Amino acid sequence: MKTTHLGRTGLRVSRLCLGTMNFGPQASEAESFAMMDRALDLGINFFDTANVYGWRKGEGVTEQIIGRWMAQGGGRREQIVLATKVYGEMGDGPNDRGLSAYHIRRACEDSLRRLQTDHIDLYQMHHVDRDTPWEEIWQAMEQLVREGKVIYVGSSNFAGWHIAQANETATARGFMGLVSEQSIYNLSSRTIELEVIPACQAYGVGLIPWSPLRSGMLAGALQKASEGRRALDEVQDWIAVHRPQLEAYEALCRELGESPAIVGLAWVVHNPVVTAPIIGPRTMDQLEGALRALEIELCDEVLARLDEIWPGPGGMAPEAYAW
C-alpha cells in the first residue's frame, strides 16, 4: 500500500481512507469488523468516522462499533490513524451541536468514550460554524491538543476562504491549525477546483475527498440502474439528466478494460493535492476492488477525454471565469 504525508505534517497515511459511514446502517457489526481487519491486512491505516454516523441521534453507533473492534486488541488501535468529526446534532439541547468550545469539549469526551481510546489522531470539524469565532474554536482545540486527546485538527465542507481564515487565526495564536480538508470531490462534482484546492495547496492542507464516486453514480450506474439506492426516484432523475455523460464515461471505461469505479477513483487519486479519497465499502469485494485504483496510471489522453465528458469549472478562480 502506498502512503503519503497528511498535508504538511510528518504523519504518513495510506492513499486510500476507509470510510465507515456504512458500518451499522448498511454493514453489520461482524461485517464491519471483518472489513476493518481486511483493511489492515491490505495496508490501509487511515480510518475515518464521525460522531453522527449510525444516524441515531446522540448514540454514535459507528464510533461504538469501531471502539469495540479496537478493544479486541492485537495492536488494532496502534496500527491506525483514527479520524472522527464534531459539529452534528448529538442531542436535543441548544448546545448539543456546532463548534462552541462547550460542545467541542463535550463531543470529544463522548467520542473518546465510544471509541474506547485515549486520543483522536485527526479531529475534524464536520462543517463550518458561522456563529462561533475562530478564537473560541482554536482555544478549545488547543486545550484538547495540550491534554493529548487530539493530535491533529482538520476540517470538512469548508470554503477556501474558511481554510484561509482558520489557518491565519491559528498562526497568530502559534497553533498549527488545519492540516486537512474533507470535501466532496469527484468527476461530476468539481467545484472545489475553483478555490478550495488552491487554498489547500497554499496552506499545506491535505485533501480527503468524500463521495469520490458520487454515491456510486460513477461506479457503473447504467449497468446497475435498478439496484439498491439507484432505484430511488432522485437517483433515477440524476441518471436521466446525466445519461449522455454516463454512456460516454462507461464506454471509455470499457475501452480501457477497467471498471467505472476504478477509473473514477484513479482520477481522484491522480490530483497531487489529494491525500486519500474516502472509500465507503458495504461489502468486502468493494473494499478489495478499490486497491486497483492505485495501480493504474491515467495517461494525458485519457485525462483529457474525462475532462471532455465531465468538464470542471475551468480551473482555479479567478482565471476560470475572468481574465
Residue 143 corresponds to which amino acid?
Q
Measured at the CA of 168, the angle between CA 164 and CA 174, to 5 degrees, comes to 145
Q: Among 58, 49, 56, which residue's Cα sits nearest to residue 22?
A: 49
* Alpha carbons 277 and 310: distance in angstroms, whole number: 18
171: enclosing H helix or E strand: helix 160-172
144: enclosing H helix or E strand: helix 134-146
Query: DSSP string covering 50-116, please?
Result: -TTTTSSTTT-HHHHHHHHHHTT-TTHHHH-EEEEEE-S--SSSTTSSSS-HHHHHHHHHHHHHHHT
Residue appearing with cell numbers 474558511 = 162
The reply to whether 185 belongs to the active site is: no
Q: Among 6, 115, 2, which residue's Cα sits nearest to residue 51?
A: 115
Q: Do the Cβ atoms of 158 and 128 come closer than 8 Å? A: yes
Please name the residues in contact with 59: beta carbons below 8 A apart, sequence gap of 6 or more.
none
Measured from the Cβ of residue 318, the count of other Cβ atoms closer than 10 Å reads 10
Total count of residues recorded for the chain: 323
Of the candidates 53, 152, 185, 249, the residue annotated as catalytic is: 53
Tell me the catalytic residues.
Answer: 53
